[in-house]
Structures are given as structure tokens and as C-alpha cells.
A and B are shown apart, each in its own frame.
Chain A
Amino acid sequence: MKKILLLSLFVATLSYAQKTKKVAPDTVCFTKEQAADISFVLDSLWAADDINNGLIASYKRLAKKQDSLIELDSIQIVKQDSIITYQKNIVTDLEKKIDLLQPKWNDKKSVWFGFGFITALGSGILVNQLIK
């Protein structure tokens, strides 16, 4: 009886020891060097990820700024076009004014002198007729 009790205790102890030392089936063991490499790679990946995220955000901001620059350029072009149109109108009006201000045949002094001479001559002839 005593032997059976000791044997069962021995078996129970052995099975307990096996259970505690047993490695879980989904657990993988690494050497120290491998673990150090994994740690290093993880660190590198996360650092690269942070920088890449920063780059993505910066490129997005750059794209937005470029878009607004394009918009401003378009506005400027439209406004410059309208300035050109107005300036063309001004040039046309000034050309018309120049045409109007050009001296014509009746602005010549000789014409007015001739006209006055003829009038005076006619008046003189008339007066002469009256006297006669």
C-alpha cells in the first residue's frame, strides 16, 4: 500500500514537472542575436515609417500649395487679360481723338484769308455800286 502511494506520488510529480517545463506549441524561441536583430529591424522600420509619414504629409501640403498657386496664376492671367482689353480700348479711343484733332482743310489760315479777302472784295464792289 505504501509502495503504491509512493509510486503514484512519483508519477504525479513527474507529470507536473513535464507540464510546467512544456513549451507552448505556438511559441518560437530565438537566440539573443536573432532577438537583437529583430529589435533593430523593428526600430528601423518604425523610424522609417515616422519619416515616411512626415514626407507624405509634407507632400500633401506641397500639392495644396501648388494648387493654390495655380489658382492665383489663373486669376492673375484673367486680370492681366482684362487690363490688356481696357488698354486696347484706350489706345483705340486715343487714336480716334488724334484723328479728330488733326488739322483739316478749313483749319488752314490761307483758306480763311482767302475767304475774308473775297468777302471784303465783294463788299467793296457792292459799296462801289451803291456810290455809283
Chain B
Amino acid sequence: MELKKQMKTIKNIALAVAGIVGAVVAFFLFTGKRKSNKIEKLDQAVATNKKHVERIETEVKQVAKKRKAVKKEIAEVKQEIAELETAKENLTIEEKPAEEVKENILKQTRRGRPKKA
């Protein structure tokens, strides 16, 4: 009778130990799974952000290309302006011979006038 009682107690203790071990293992498995899920989500977020960055970087490159072209155009226009300024400074006018003077005056004064209908 006492042996049966002892056996029962031992069985209970064995079950308790097995339960504790199972609970501990289950706890660590659960935590590990949760952790890996979190890591997976973070990896996905990083990948999405990287894609965004790559897309925007391509756009930035295009903008930089356009900017370079515009800068080149600006340099050309500045060069043109410098040439015109130099031309303005070094403006030389040929004096017309006496026989062409009258014709020249008439031509030049009519130049700016609006044409009569």
C-alpha cells in the first residue's frame, strides 16, 4: 500500500520535472520564434527602405545630369555676354565718305521709324 503511494509520488515528481522541462523548452522556443519574426520584419523594412533609396538615388542622378547640362548652358551664355560686352567696349565705326553721308543719315533715321500703312 505504502509502495503504491510512493510510486504515485515519484510519478507525480517525474511528471512535474517533465512539465517544467517542457515549459522551459516551450518558453525558449516561443521567444526564439518571436525574435526571428521580429528580425524578419526588420529585414523586410530595411529592404523596402533600400529600394526607396535606390529609386531616389536614380532620380537624383538624373537631376544632377540635367543640372550639369544647365550649368554648361549658363557658362555658354556667360561667355556670349562677355563677348558682347567686349564688342561693346571695342566698338569701332567706320566714317562714311562724304558722298554717302546723306544717304546714310536718311537710311539710319528711317530705320527706326514705324512704316506707314
Cβ-defined contact, B10 with A115, below 8 A: no
The count of residues in chain A whose C-beta lies closer than 8 Å to any C-beta of chain B is 50
Cβ-defined contact, B73 with A65, below 8 A: yes
Number of contact residues on B: which range applies? 35 or more
Cβ-defined contact, A68 with B70, below 8 A: yes
- State A79–B52 Cα separation when bound (angstroms): 11
CB proximity of A110 to chain B, nearest CB, Å = 15
Q: Which of B42, B81, B102 interacts with A62 by CB under 8 Å?
A: B81
CB proximity of A62 to chain B, nearest CB, Å = 5
Q: Which of B56, B63, B81, B88 interacts with A59 by CB under 8 Å?
A: B81
Q: Which of A75, A83, A119 interacts with B21 by CB under 8 Å?
A: A119
Residues of B within 8 A of A61 (CB): 77
- State A66–B67 Cα separation when bound (angstroms): 10
**Interface 9-residue window, one of A4-12, A16-24, A87-95:** A87-95
Residues of B within 8 A of A83 (CB): 53, 56-57, 60
Cβ-defined contact, A62 with B77, below 8 A: yes
Cβ-defined contact, A100 with B108, below 8 A: no
Most A CB within 10 A of own CB, among B50, B66, B70, B100 = B70
Residues of B within 8 A of A101 (CB): 39
Residues of A within 8 A of B74 (CB): 62, 65-66, 69
Cβ-defined contact, A39 with B101, below 8 A: yes
Cβ-defined contact, B52 with A36, below 8 A: no
Q: Which of B42, B66, B93 interacts with A93 by CB under 8 Å?
A: B42
Given contacts A39-B105, A69-B67, A100-B35, 9 further A-B contacts (CB under 8 A): A39-B96, A39-B108, A40-B93, A47-B91, A54-B84, A76-B64, A79-B60, A94-B42, A119-B17
Residues of A within 8 A of B (CB): 32, 35-36, 38-40, 42-44, 46-48, 51-52, 54-55, 58-59, 61-62, 65-66, 68-69, 72-73, 75-76, 79-80, 82-83, 86-87, 89-90, 93-94, 96-97, 100-101, 106, 115, 119, 122-123, 126, 129-130
Q: Top 5 nearest A-B pairs by Cβ distance?
A: A42-B108, A39-B101, A39-B104, A62-B77, A72-B67
